[in-house]
Amino acid sequence: MTEPKRTQREDMEELVQVLREWQDLEDSGIRTLCKLRSQTKNRLLRQVMSIIMHDSSQHRRVQAILLDGLTKEAFSLTPEEVGEIWTGIEEHEKLERASIAKAHAARKSTRDPIVRFFLSYLLADEEKHHRMLEGLEDIKRDLYPYGW
Ligand SMILES: [Fe+2]
Ligand SMILES: [Fe+2]
Of 47, 76, 105, which residue sits at a domain end? Answer: 76
- Using the predicted structure, report yes or no on whether residue 147 has a pLDDT greater than 80: no
Domain boundary among the residues 27, 44, 76 is at 76
| Same domain for 87 and 56 | no
Ligand 2 centroid from CA 26, angstroms:
23
Question: 128 and 83 in one domain?
Answer: yes
Structural domain of residue 15, as residue ranges?
A: 1-76
Same domain for 54 and 113: no
12, 54: one domain: yes
CA of residue 126 to ligand 2 center, whole Å = 4
Final residue in a domain of this structure, among 76, 95, 117: 76
Please tell me whether residues 20 and 68 are part of one structural domain.
yes
Between 141 and 3, whose confidence is greater? Answer: 141
Distance 101 CA to ligand 1 centre (A): 26
Q: From the CA of 47, how far away is ligand 1's center (Å)?
A: 17
Q: Are residues 34 and 82 in the same domain?
A: no
Q: Are residues 84 and 27 in the same domain?
A: no
Residue 1 CA to ligand 2 center (angstroms) comes to 51
Tell whether the model's pLDDT for residue 60 goes beyond 70. yes
Write out pLDDT tens, residues 95-143: 999 999 999 999 999 999 999 999 999 999 999 999 999 999 999 888 8
Same domain (yes/no): 93, 51 = no
SS (H, E, C) 70-103: HHCCCCCCCHHHHHHHHHHHHHHHHHHHHHHHHH
CB neighbour class for 19 (10 Å; exposed up to 12, middle 13-18, buried from 19) = middle
Ligand positioned closest to the Cα atom of 97: 2
pLDDT of residue 4: 74
DSSP-derived secondary structure letter, 144: S
Are 38 and 65 in the same domain? yes
Total structural domains within the chain: 2
The span from the CA of 84 to the CA of 73, in Å, is: 22
Mean pLDDT of the chain: 94
Q: Are residues 59 and 38 in the same domain?
A: yes
